[in-house]
Structure 1
Amino acid sequence: MASEDYSLLDMYENAFPNSRKLYQKASTLFPNGVTHDGRYLQPYPIYVERAKGSKKWDVDGREYIDYWSGHGALLLGHGREEVVKAVTEQVALGTHLGACHRKEVEWAELVIDMVPSAEKVRFTSSGTEATLMAIRLSRTFTGKNKLLKFAGHFHGWHDQVILGANPPYETPPPGIIKEVVDTTVIRPPNDIEAVEKTLQTDNDIAGVIIEPTGGGFGTIPTGGEFLKQLREVTSRYSVILIFDEVISGFRVAPGGAQEYYNVTPDLTTLAKILAGGLPGGAVAGRNDIMELLENRKDPEWKSNKKMPHPGTFNANP
């Protein structure tokens, strides 16, 4: 082969032959051969064999510095000794107790001690589940139907929040029903005038959700001044303010962006770092909102207020 014909594609395939073999198998098993949209690469993704600290090694023996850090979940890096020890000890005691346990109490105490908005906590299995719960709580508490979110901000992949997450922001993804589209209001990031005008003219907004450090891992940055304005406006119109701190929680400060900017939301969603690099999420917030998850004997409460929330892996030890 002449040197001028030796393309980048040839170099890639020569460098990662074992990844290519795995991808050929994976393509017969998964759509696009992957299990996450972000892992779809052309001509094929690199397959990782192991990781330790800040490094990863692929199936062809190549070493990398890992700037991705488990989608932001691995604040302590890969294979941190204390984390491995704790997980190993718990596996010996049980991987799924199917009951209340001491660890969930200790975990919740830490969240409440650290996160300013956390008066009560409810654990979930992921950040997507956490935002789903927070939005439903805001609708239940206010008796209103609509959610206001910001273009380019990601809050998971359930129907209401995947709208406006990716450009073109005004075009809903396939499979989202019209009623969901009609109850989701998308506004430009950092535009407090657009938010206030919406709340002035639409009395059916239950909640506003935002990534407090900005969308796209901060590539669409949001500052403290806008958060303060957003807190003031939502309070004035009795709209629930939700900080999605799945990424920023325990990272920007021990108590998240809300501690750093000194702006306290009504509800906070958490995941990633929360579970030490393992699957897990939570909603934390005001007691008068979180109490909607409580069981009570009052029939009217059960019919009109109690928000159901099961979940096989909630607070998994």
Structure 2
Amino acid sequence: MATSTLTTCRATGRSLLGHSHPAIAEAVSRQILRGTHLGASTGEELRWARAIKALMPSIEKVRFNSSGTEATLMAMRLARAYTGKNKVVKLQDHFHGWHDYAMAGSDRSAPGIPDASMATMVIVPPGDLGAVEDALNRDDDIAALILEPTGAHMGQMTFDTPSYLKGLRELTARHEVVLIFDEVVTGFRASPGGVQVRYGISPDLTTMAKIVAGGLPGGAVGGKADIIDMIAHRGRVYHPGTFNGNPLSAAAGAVALELLASEPINERADAMAARLKAGFNEVLGRLEIPGHVHGIASMLHVVLADCDCDREICTMPHRQISAAAASPATTAMKRGLQNRGVDIMGRETILVSGVHNESEIDQTVEAFSDTMAAVRAEGLI
């Protein structure tokens, strides 16, 4: 039984800089002495917004809130107000928080949500541009399309990312539909500028949380100025919030993003993720266990299913991925890694940080090798 734990879930994706980064801790401590809630905008909030804009050129203006769920809810409302239309296209199983609209087309149960709310959401299969085009041609009351730009569940269920995103950009522009990238996880991780910079595809709106607030609670919506300008204190989209852009999150977020802009943190995280992916795939091959590890940048997913796919993008049937994730073998893998001192996110997701080192990665590969040998010996594979 392990006596210490190496975390590769990194606080559900918010800790690309690791836990308690000294520069962030210092900034937050300094701000605590100045004030934790001032009831008005601060210089730190402006600095935070400038740091976001410097990394994501598609963003002209930013509005802060307190979480990723609030960010996606605000983005949908802004799109509806901007277009004067009511419906939003969402990809099946894509995760955008827990509000009523986000739960449509989810693989989770959704009691307590009115049918009328669900009726405003148009669900399409991911990766199918034809289905999106049919929906836009069939219904002229669509305000926006929202998606996780690397695929559902942080890229666990992928599609041919660059070409698909390019196709969505062309379709939404042609139909004057607002394109929303939910970069709550991928923002500042897929690259310092997120998926949109990695693949050179600009959305109209971007939702952010996790890394954007430097590990503290916080979220944001950024995008075209004329859409963000739909927010006003009176007469337009109303957006009060006690902790919107709060000084502590602003201080942490500004420092975190400035570090990502000035230091090779993403490069280190990506290199360690590549080392981990290669090690895990070597283990699976050596033990003759059907499966692979795939993922973009520092976001990795273990799939215990028969498919030769160890690249960034793995286009295999979503049903097969879901079945593998729910299998006894995957559950045993999760528990076995925990018992050997490695904590992954959920049952199959690994988020590598810029502070993981080669020794820790190699320890994780060794723990995976021992775990998978035990899983096989138990007859679960």
TM-score per shorter chain, which class?
0.7 to 0.9
Deviation at 1:99, TM superposition (A): 1.5
Other-structure match for 1:236: 174
Structure 2 residue runs without a partner (length 5+)? 248-381
Q: Is this contact kept in 2: 1:122–1:282, CA < 8 A?
A: yes
Deviation at 1:62, TM superposition (A): 2.9
Alignment length (residue pairs): 246
1:229-259 superposed Cα distances (whole Å, 9 cap, x missing partner): 0000000011000000000001111111000
Other-structure match for 2:139: 202
CA distance in 2, matches of 1:198, 1:285: 24
Q: Is this contact kept in 2: 1:116–1:258, CA < 8 A?
A: no
Q: Secondary structure, in 3 states, of the residue corresponding to 1:242?
A: strand
Structure with bigger gyration radius: 1
Query: For the aligned residues, what is the CA RMSD?
Result: 1.3
Would you say 1:140 and 2:81 are equivalent positions?
yes
Q: Secondary structure, in 3 states, of the residue corresponding to 2:5?
A: strand
Percent pairwise identity: 51
1:20-48 superposed Cα distances (whole Å, 9 cap, x missing partner): xxxxxxxxxxxxxxxxxxxxxxxxxxxxx
Stretches (4+) displaced over 6 A:
none
Q: Is this contact kept in 1: 2:232–2:239, CA < 8 A?
A: no
Q: Is this contact kept in 2: 1:214–1:221, CA < 8 A?
A: yes
Other-structure match for 2:225: 287
Q: How does 1:163-312 map to 2 (within 5 A)?
A: 163-166=104-107, 173-222=110-159, 223-295=161-233, 302=235, 306-312=236-242
Would you say 1:126 and 2:64 are equivalent positions?
no
Q: Which structure has more RCO (C-alpha within 8 Å, separation ≥ 6)?
A: 2
2:48 to 104, 107, 112: 107
Q: Secondary structure, in 3 states, of the residue corresponding to 1:63?
A: coil
Partner amino acid, structure 2, of 1:204: D
1:139-188 superposed Cα distances (whole Å, 9 cap, x missing partner): 00111101110111100000001122216xxxx61111111111111111
Q: Which stretch has the larger CA shift, 92-101 or 197-206? A: 92-101
Q: 1:163 to 1:62 in 2, by over 3 A?
A: farther
Q: Is this contact kept in 2: 1:212–1:243, CA < 8 A?
A: yes
Q: Secondary structure, in 3 states, of the residue corresponding to 1:117?
A: coil
Greater helix content:
2
Structure 1 residue runs without a partner (length 5+)? 1-14, 16-60, 297-301
Task: With the length of structure 1 as denominator, give the TM-score of the two structures.
Answer: 0.75
Q: Secondary structure, in 3 states, of the residue corresponding to 2:226?
A: helix
Other-structure match for 1:7: none
